[in-house]
Chains A and B, each alone.
Chain A
Amino acid sequence: MSGVGHKFARLARFIALSATAFALSCSQPPQIARDQYPLPEDVEISKCKPGKYGGIFVLAASQEPQTFNPLISSDAYSSMVIDMMMAPLVTYDPFTQESAPALAKSWEISPDGKTYTFNLRHGVKFSDGVELTADDVIFTFDAIFEPLRGPDGKPKIDPQTKRPLLKNPSRYAGQFTIGGEYIKYRKIDKYRVSFTTKTVYAPFLTDIGFICILPKHKLESAVKNGTLQQQWSTQTAIDNPSEIAATGPFCIFAYKPGESLILKPNPHYWRADEKRQRLPYIDFLIYKFVADANTSTILFATGQCDAAAVSANDYAWVKNYANTYDFKIYERGPDSSISFIWFNQNPNKEPDGKPYVKPYKLKWFSNVKFRRAIMQAIDRDGLIKSVWFSRAVKLHSIISPANKKWHNPDTVKYEYSPETSRQLLKEEGFYYGSDGRLRDKLGNAVEFDFMVADGSQNSTTTATTFVENMKAIGIKVSLKFMDFAAIVSKIDDTFDYEAAMLGFTGGGDPSGGKAIYRSDGFLHVWNPRQKTPATDWERRIDEIYERQEAELDTRKRRELIFEMQQLFSKNLPLFYLTTPMSYSGIQKKWQNVRVPPLGSIIWNLEELYERD
């Protein structure tokens, strides 16, 4: 039987090979012209081993970019592609976890810590050959903060928040509102710009790294006539890819919606190797769009694409193909995302006077000992063993252990112990009825609805395990699957739920978590948008948050963030679940691969070259 299977596989491989040979015989990628243009005056010389030009790098993407406009992209997939094409002033070095020069070759910080002056590289050009200067930087920030004007020319004001409306609404205006005011910026000369914040703001360099500099000569008219939002859309990439003037290593060669996006080297890129060969080495970068993450994993495992993030779930089988298809998988440690379950502790009422959460249930949910009992009844070890085949770790803090710089390893840890949780419940006056169900002092059976986003296999298994764990301590949990939009509207708008599960992507500077940490944040999910902090510990967290923003000393800032994590773990508003290990695979033929502690394995794609 196996002999037959073997023969079949051999035949299939033969057919496949001849088909590929046929395909190759008539597919000749065009030559990429190299050394067309001289290197810029302030070229950055990479320390990587000099390689040779050529090769095609294929990546599978399970979703398509929705826009190529860096100002409006809000999804990870658009950002992933835009990052290949557009450069910010400063970038982030994944090894040192510090800011590193990009379009700005250096910067100075004023002694009061409020003014940052950036020195742009001289001679850097957009991919269409026009030089990038301070005017483009100013143009980009003007576009972000440009107010929306009514027919009378006066800025329009949001009737609810009394703040001016923006012509090009993006997340950045909010991000650069520091101390209640927009940051100030000005051009010093052709190659220098300075930014001033109202108060000291520690994560400023990180945040400025999110802004890709836009070409004024391409987009000025669009900002004037109010069509910036529609510029650089997918349609532009189809019809007229050269319109999208890049500053990153790549620019668009062709885009076929639903099929593939092909990037080619930016002929004006500002990095080169020690032999003064302009980067990147590869001829083409192809994003092949596939239906889902499973397909992209299959493509990688069968040698059809060059690099991929491999989930802990798939690692078990993908590694079996490593020798056949000559790739290597790196273990990257725990993932940077966090996932958690929480109880709705919102004490407010609906307009018609009905409380969001039934008062007797709210009493349970806001009792920290009750929450601790629940936490200790969740069998995370079991989940890790069964679902993840031991390729996951328990999460003990609101910041994942992957984020080594900010993760506090010494927060309170709650281990699985249903006995302890029964004990805790009894101490709080709960008792078990003759039917084995848990009841509170007043005799109410303890039960609650638990809403979970549908669609993900892992969240489903976690949820069913949670239900079984609760059953074991006499609590009845009814699972409610909902689509993501429904969950969001419940936690952000209608507040009519009892318990829920959600995950957030993590990594980066903790200042990104403002909306979760602060008591007035809208993602402070258990009790969002508080007017004044409901508890002392929440007040303390608000205080810490404010202080860390103004703290320039990283060591002291870390201490504050550590204290915040400790407060979260002690008071348990969220029951942290597990975080899987992450893996990245790449074909062995690629040289110069350096795997950073956090982030994408191809962060230095421009430096990769193909082995002979």
Chain B
Amino acid sequence: MIGFIFRRLCATVPLMLAVSVMVFLLMYLAPGDFLSQARSSKDISPEIVRQEEMRLGLDKPWYVQYARWLNGVSPIKTNLLLPENDRQKHGIVYFGQPDFGYSWSYKIPVSSLIFQRLIPTLILALASTLLSYAVAIPLGVIAAVKKDSLFDKISSFLAYAALSIPYFFLALLAVLFAAVTGVLPTGGQTSIMYEFMSPAAKLGDYLRHLILPTLVLSVGSIASIMRVMRGNFLDYSKLDFVTTARAKGLSENAIMFKHVLRNALNPIITSLGFAFAGLLSGALLVENVMNYPGLGQLIYAAIVKQDQYVVMAGVTMGCAMLIAGQLIADILLALSDPRIRLENAPIPWKRLSVFVISAAAAFALVTYLCQASQSFLNILVFLGKWGGIIILALLAVALVAGLAWAAVFFCKNLLKDIIKTRRGAAAMGALAAMYALAFLAPFIAPYEPTQQCLDKSFHPPTALVWRDGGICAKVYKNVDPSIAKYEPVDGQYLKIKFFCKDENSKYKIFGLIPFKYKLFQCQNKAPDSRVFLLGSDSTGRDVFSRLLYGARISLSIGFVGIAITMTIGFLVGGLSGYFGGTFDFVAMRFVEFLMAVPGLYLLLAMRSALAPHFDSSQMYIMIIAILSLLGWASTARVIRGMSLSLSNRQYVMAAKAMGERPLKIIIRHFLPNVLSYLIVGATLSIPGYILGEAALSFLGLGIQEPSASWGLMLSQAQNDTKVLMLGFWWMLTPGAAIFAAVLAFNMLGDVLRDIADPQRNFK
């Protein structure tokens, strides 16, 4: 065990180095630098900017800057990388305190800056992790034990609901709730008078401020842990050893808590490690909305301002936290499941060193060429861009085809079963309707998503009435333009015509057959005679039309992402669990590398590095790809945990002994066993992508104007406080749409899980 821990700790050094190089490079590639703000101020002269550049070392190539940083951080330093004036003070090689550098914007050492913010973040993360595990595990167990009871139904419905709300939106609602009622503080860590309080009151005040952020952060994870817990528990409670125990006449309590629970906890324990890692990026959005002065807020601001050393220190910290978390997870797993062996084959130094040396050499060559000639960099960017897009497109097509095959398979075998259950039918129906609406958006939507009507901003939804043998829309007048208050005008109506021809329409079904009809439009073609089924936004665009067009983007995201994530995750996780040894070692280090970079920050850095080279639409594909390529890592780890314990099962050993090929074993024997996890995982992930898109839009990284997506529309409603305060409720309909879609996916996933369960035949 100690040897294992030691080896793992040694392995973290190259990992951290790789992460730090990558982040540093991305920061360097991002256009502009810390001095961009200064450069654009009209009263700071260019000479000052240049002098600052030299002082901060920004005039040096990135590898020199990186080497300086590394020299500062490392306890063994060389004086060759110090500024001229300090060179004499030290020998060529000397020992020194690790120094994370100075924060350029705060002008204080990064270490003290990080320390200022670390404690609040740790407290918040600890509180919410504790709360979610403490609540979710018992709830999950009870729901599983009392499967199909009222409790199970209510709790799973609440879990659906909790998972279906974008949590930055929840945070915003919490802030609003606090602001309006005054029951709890709106944000921050302490109240305004904190400084003047007695110690007891200070503690009380601190705890009071912790309540809302903890709740907001926990809601989502409670729901997801609970669902996974319930799923696992059900899986294990159907296994042979339970039947045996029951046959032996063991009490039900002993079976459930001694046998089933311990097994079912395994994946949950693995996820505890990740919860630790999520401390950093997970809390970012909540910290931002709720104004909680944590690390996330600090690092986000540092990335935006390109305060290099703060970003480096923050990301390295996140990395270290994650590695510690994973180590803890592995040790816990070994302690709780005696079947898992931690001692693997010795490290294959020879192979590893060849791998590392060749990778380093290739990297150095590319870097050198990039430095030597600008055009090489351009070629590289061009190749990377188009090559990446083509490969991704092919990959996506292949995976979508695979998914389609799976879908056909499911339809043939499972559709009937799904429709049989009421929940399944409802979910399927809702999803089918949503996808149909999205597909037919240009036909159903009365207006183009970008078409403005500046006279009618924040127009409320138009009431429809039956009149003169047809449906008519009421006409509204803006009675108080200073607060956009509209009232219907008596006796004026707009006639609605159905299936009308629209010559301007460029819609082609499947991009081939021109189709020049609209489902409905105003008979009166005057530009300001408009029917707003779901109201209009700040420039008078039709929310209904935008919602339909937005659905095309928001609903398609999940599939692409999930297809990539699950396939790669399953293959890598399964193989590394099966083989162990070298493959496991290399694969898991790679997984750790991917997961060691806090995803949101990587995304931010990647985006600002790549943004100038890509159009908004291409950028969007890029972001999906980055998200899903990062996302497979966690699936891979969980699958590995499962297949580690599976590979010691008798039937797997038997298959091995019979000389079956590994891939076949994995697909034949592992897949059915982990299928329920994959399905639960996939259904939990598709909504994750929909919500992810919303979260990205919240940070300004998602789909961009003038296109529409649900997340973008919601973030507009949320950035403009008057929308909520003046009661323009129709602007929140994208939130309802997200909620509905996510809810439907979650319900469908649950039903599927019950059906696809391999053990169901034994019932």
Say whether A and B bind each other: yes
Contact B51 A169 (CB under 8 A): yes
Question: Are B55 and A317 neighbours in the complex by a CB distance under 8 Å?
Answer: no
Residue of A nearest to B102 (CB): A230
Tell me whether A464 and B450 are in contact (CB under 8 A): yes
In the complex, chain A residues whose CB is within 8 Å of the CB of B611: 482-483, 486
CB–CB A512/B193 < 8 A: no
Within 8 Å by CB of A161, from B32, B47, B112, B192, lies: B47
Q: How far is the CB of B62 from chain A (nearest CB, A)?
A: 16
- Compute how far the CA of A320 lies from the CA of B725 in the bound complex, rounded to whole angstroms: 10
How far apart sit A258 and B113, CA to CA, in the bound complex (Å)?
11
Contact with A along B671-713 (1 / 0, CB 8 A): 0000000000000000000000000000010001110000000
**Most chain A Cβ neighbours within 10 Å, of B188, B193, B290, B297:** B193
- Interface presence of A550 (CB below 8 A): no
CB contact between A467 and one of B84, B193, B450 (< 8 Å): that residue: B450
Contacts of B293 in A (CB 8 A): 257-259, 289
Q: Tell me which of A19, A257, A314, A480 contacts B616 (CB under 8 A).
A: A480
A286 beta carbon closer than 8 Å to chain B: yes
A316 touching B112 in the complex, CB below 8 Å, given contacts A171-B48, A391-B482: no
Q: How far is the CA of A536 from the CA of B484 in the complex (A)?
A: 47
Contact residues, A233-252 vs B (CB, 8 A) = 233-235, 238
A233 CB, min distance to chain B CBs, angstroms: 5
- Inter-chain CA distance A286–B194, complex, in Å, is 11
Q: Which residues of A contact B200 (CB under 8 A)?
A: 26
Given contacts A174-B44, A298-B186, contact A465 B181 (CB under 8 A): no
Cβ of A235: which chain B residues have Cβ within 8 Å of it?
108-109, 112
| B47 partner residues in chain A, CB cutoff 8 A | 158, 161, 163, 174
- Choose from A27, A454, A504 the contact partner of B197 (Cβ within 8 Å): A27
Q: Which of B165-194 contact A (CB under 8 A)?
A: 175-176, 179-183, 186-194
Across-interface contacts of A163 in B (CB, < 8 A): 47
Task: Determine if B704 and A299 form an interchain contact, defined as CB atoms under 8 angstroms apart.
Answer: no
CA distance A464 to B539 in the complex (A): 9
**A477 and B324 alpha carbons, distance in the complex (Å):** 50
Binds B, one of A10-18, A365-373, A583-591: A10-18
Task: Name the B residues within 8 Å of A460 (CB-CB).
Answer: 705, 716
Which size class do A's interface residues fall under? 35 or more
B193 touches A23 (CB 8 A): yes
How distant is the Cα of A292 from the Cα of B42 in the complex, in angstroms?
Answer: 25
Task: Report if A390 contacts B (CB, 8 A).
Answer: yes
Report how far A171 CA is from B198 CA in the complex, Å: 44
- Name A473-513 residues within 8 Å CB distance of B: 478-486, 488-492, 504, 512-513
B193 engages A482 (CB within 8 Å): no
Is B36 a contact of A288 with CB atoms below 8 Å?
Answer: no
Interface segment, A85-93, A268-276, A381-389, A599-607? A381-389
| Chain A CB within 10 Å, residue with most, of B108, B194, B195, B716 | B195
Assess the A512–B43 pair: CB atoms within 8 A.
yes
Asked if B477 is at the interface of the complex by the 8 Å CB criterion, the answer is no
CA distance A483 to B611 in the complex (A): 9
B32 / chain A contacts, CB cutoff of 8 Å: 483-486, 488-489
The answer to whether B50 and A290 have CB atoms under 8 Å apart is: no
State in angstroms the CA–CA spacing of A299 and B721 once bound together: 12
Contact of B55 among A169, A288, A292, A490 (CB under 8 A): A169
Evaluate contact between B483 and A13: CB separation under 8 angstroms. Answer: no
Contact A12 B181 (CB under 8 A): yes
Q: Is B612 an interface residue (CB 8 A)?
A: yes
Within 8 A of A (CB), among B98-157: 102, 105-109, 112, 116-117, 120
- Asked if A254 is at the interface (CB within 8 A of a chain B CB), the reply is yes
Evaluate whether A74 and B50 lie within 8 angstroms (CB atoms) in the complex, with A457-B720, A485-B32 already known: no
Q: Which residues of A contact B758 (CB under 8 A)?
A: none
Name the CB-closest residue of B to A453. Answer: B700
Complex interface: chain B residues within 8 A of A67 (CB):
106-107
CA distance A316 to B483 in the complex (A): 6
Asked whether A457 lies within 8 Å of B716 as measured between CB atoms, the reply is yes
Q: Is B221 an interface residue (CB 8 A)?
A: no
Asked if A412 is at the interface (CB within 8 A of a chain B CB), the reply is no
Chain A 133-162 interface residues, beta-carbon cutoff 8 Å to B: 148, 151, 158, 160-161
Interface membership of A417, Cβ < 8 A: no
Number of B residues near A (Cβ < 8 Å) is 98
**A165-B51, A262-B195 are known contacts. Are A317 and B722 too (CB-CB below 8 A)?**
yes
Instruction: Compute how far the CA of A58 lies from the CA of B196 in the bound complex, rounded to whole angstroms.
Output: 14
A294, closest chain B residue (CB): B721
Q: Which of A286, A481, A488 contacts B40 (CB 8 A)?
A: A488
Give A329 to B106 CA distance when docked, in angstroms: 34
Q: Any chain B CB within 8 A of the CB of A420?
A: no
Complex alpha-carbon distance, A230 and B186, angstroms: 34
Q: A387-B538, A464-B705 are in contact. Are A486 and B612 (CB under 8 A)?
A: yes
Q: Collect the chain B residues with CB atoms within 8 Å of residue A282's CB.
A: none
Q: CA–CA, A153 to B26, complex, Å?
A: 39
Q: Which of A98-106, A180-188, A514-522, A567-575 contacts B (4 or more CB under 8 A)?
A: A514-522
Q: In this assembly, does A544 line the interface, its C-beta being within 8 Å of a C-beta of chain B?
A: no
Q: Is B364 at the interface (CB under 8 A from chain A)? A: no
CB-nearest residue of chain A to B707: A479
B185 to chain A, nearest CB (A): 9
How far apart are A337's CB and chain B's nearest CB, in angstroms?
Answer: 13
B481 at the interface (CB under 8 A from A): yes
B187 touches A12 (CB 8 A): no
Those of A14-64 within 8 Å (CB) of chain B: 15-16, 19, 23-24, 26-30, 56, 58
Give, as a whole number of angstroms, the nearest-CB distance from A381 to chain B: 8
Quick check: is B457 within 8 A (CB to CB) of the other chain?
Answer: yes
* B288 and A522 contacting across the interface, CB-CB below 8 Å: no
A289 to B188, Cβ gap below 8 A?
A: yes
**A316-B457 in contact (CB<8A):** no
What mask results when residues 621 to 649 of chain B are scored 1 for a CB within 8 Å of chain A, else 0? 00000000000000000000000000000
| B183 contacts A522, C-beta separation under 8 Å | no
Residues of B within 8 A of A24 (CB): 193
A205-247 contact mask (Cβ, 8 Å, vs B): 1 or 0: 0000000000000000000000001100111001000000000
Per the bound structure, the CA–CA distance linking A302 and B39 in Å amounts to: 39
The answer to whether A515 touches B42, judged by C-beta atoms less than 8 angstroms apart, is yes
Shortest C-beta distance, B554 to chain A (Å), equals: 19
Q: Does B45 contact A (CB under 8 A)?
A: yes
A387 B539 Cβ-Cβ under 8 A: yes
Whether, in the assembled complex, B397 has its beta carbon less than 8 Å from a beta carbon of chain A, the answer is no
* A362 contacts chain B at the CB level, 8 A cutoff: no
User: In the complex, A442 Cα to B577 Cα: how many Å?
Assistant: 66
- Pair A523/B188 contact, Cβ less than 8 Å: no
Query: B483 touching A389 by the CB < 8 A rule?
Result: yes
The answer to whether the Cβ of A463 comes within 8 Å of any Cβ in the partner chain is yes
Instruction: Report whether A485 and B187 are in contact in the complex, using a CB–CB cutoff of 8 Å.
Output: no
Q: Closest 4 interchain pairs by CB?
A: A258-B293, A485-B32, A382-B454, A174-B45
- A-B contact list, 26 entries, CB within 8 Å: A12-B180, A15-B182, A24-B193, A26-B198, A66-B107, A75-B37, A161-B47, A169-B52, A235-B108, A253-B195, A257-B117, A258-B117, A258-B297, A258-B298, A259-B293, A291-B291, A302-B179, A302-B180, A379-B454, A382-B454, A387-B457, A468-B451, A479-B616, A481-B616, A486-B30, A488-B36
Known: A258-B120, A304-B192. 12 other contacts (CB 8 A): A12-B180, A26-B201, A151-B85, A160-B50, A174-B44, A174-B47, A229-B107, A352-B375, A457-B719, A465-B454, A468-B451, A490-B612
- Chain A residues close to B by CB (< 8 Å): 9, 12-13, 15-16, 19, 23-24, 26-30, 56, 58, 66-67, 69, 72, 74-75, 148, 151, 158, 160-161, 163, 165-166, 169-171, 173-175, 229-230, 233-235, 238, 253-254, 256-260, 262, 286, 288-292, 294-295, 297-299, 302, 304, 313-314, 316-318, 320, 352, 379, 382-383, 385-387, 389-391, 454-455, 457, 460-461, 463-465, 467-468, 478-486, 488-492, 504, 512-516, 522-523
